[in-house]
């Protein structure tokens, strides 16, 4: 199976930058059809080992790394995804499998008995790594996202803000789960594309004195432990 790695930029930006990029992208790109009034809420539950392997590899800049998470949108349990994000030499790819709310809750509760017979390769892979590496749900990451789509180059531009951490909470499906601001988390611009980044998008997301970085929402949300 061919693995399609995508290019990715991340920039910490100011609120003024957000207003500027939002206006530019609104003039040239489509809003994500799943967005409501141009945005949606994302909640992810990240997995890590008892030794914080995913966190340490991110902080150390390990060239080849991966992380697992469960994700839902607008706290709607009808659409839940298990995802694995892999990075290699600055390029990224993502694998995804659907979960039911019951399956997600069983994972949170530590019930793995259903996973090997699930018929989904990614679920089986997570099961094996939970058994062999001790992967377990670690913390919730909440934020608001404004997404834009530009078809040429398969470009996706997102503006993420109000990043909040669940501390040690793993209560994924509870819309009233308590989260708190993740320290001094910035507004984050992310740009992802396949083979080329059209110049019109490069110009639209260009802001003075901003350089691509390696910001991690998961790492930021582990600021308190």
Range of the domain at 160: 7-221
Residue 57, in any domain of the structure = yes
CA dist., res. 30 & res. 25, Å (int)? 8
10 Å CB burial of residue 21 (0-12, 13-18, 19+) is buried
126 near 135, Cβ under 8 Å? yes
pLDDT, mean over the chain: 93
Interval 42-87: pLDDT, tens: 999 999 999 999 999 998 888 889 999 999 999 999 999 999 999 8
State the pLDDT confidence band at 209, using cuts at 50, 70 and 90: confident
What percentage of the chain has pLDDT greater than the value 90? 82
**Phi first, then psi: what are they for 113, rounded to 5°?**
-65, -25
Residue 119, in any domain of the structure = yes
Give the containing element (helix H, strand E) for 2: none
Residue 2: its pLDDT value, please?
56
Residue 46, in any domain of the structure = yes
CA dist., res. 105 & res. 207, Å (int)? 42
CA dist., res. 43 & res. 178, Å (int)? 12
CATH number at 174 reads 3.20.100.30
Residue 31: its pLDDT value, please?
87
- Specify which residues 155 forms β-bridges with: 150
Residue 1, in any domain of the structure = no
Number of domains, the chain: 1
CA dist., res. 132 & res. 146, Å (int)? 37
């Amino acid at each position: 199976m061919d693995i399609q790695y995508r290019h990715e930029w991340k920039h910490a930006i100011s609120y003024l930058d957000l207003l500027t990029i939002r206006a530019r992208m609104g003039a040239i790109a489509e809003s994500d059809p799943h967005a409501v009034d141009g945005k949606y809420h994302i909640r992810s539950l990240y997995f890590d080992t008892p030794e914080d392997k995913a966190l340490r590899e991110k902080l150390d800049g390990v060239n080849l790394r991966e992380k697992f998470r469960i994700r839902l949108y607008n706290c709607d349990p009808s659409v839940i995804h298990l995802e694995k994000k892999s990075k290699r030499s600055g390029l990224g790819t993502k694998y995804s499998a659907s979960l039911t709310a019951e399956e997600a809750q069983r994972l949170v509760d530590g019930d793995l008995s259903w996973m090997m017979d699930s018929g989904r390769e990614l679920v089986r892979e997570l099961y094996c790594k939970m058994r062999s590496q001790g992967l377990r749900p670690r913390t919730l990451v909440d934020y608001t996202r404004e997404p834009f789509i530009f078809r040429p180059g398969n470009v996706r531009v997102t503006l993420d803000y109000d990043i909040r951490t669940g501390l040690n909470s793993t209560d994924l499906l509870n819309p009233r789960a308590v989260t708190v601001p993740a320290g001094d988390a910035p507004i984050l611009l992310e740009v992802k594309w396949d083979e080329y980044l059209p110049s019109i998008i490069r110009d639209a997301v260009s802001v003075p004195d901003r350089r691509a970085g390696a910001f991690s929402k998961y790492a930021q949300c582990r600021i308190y432990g």
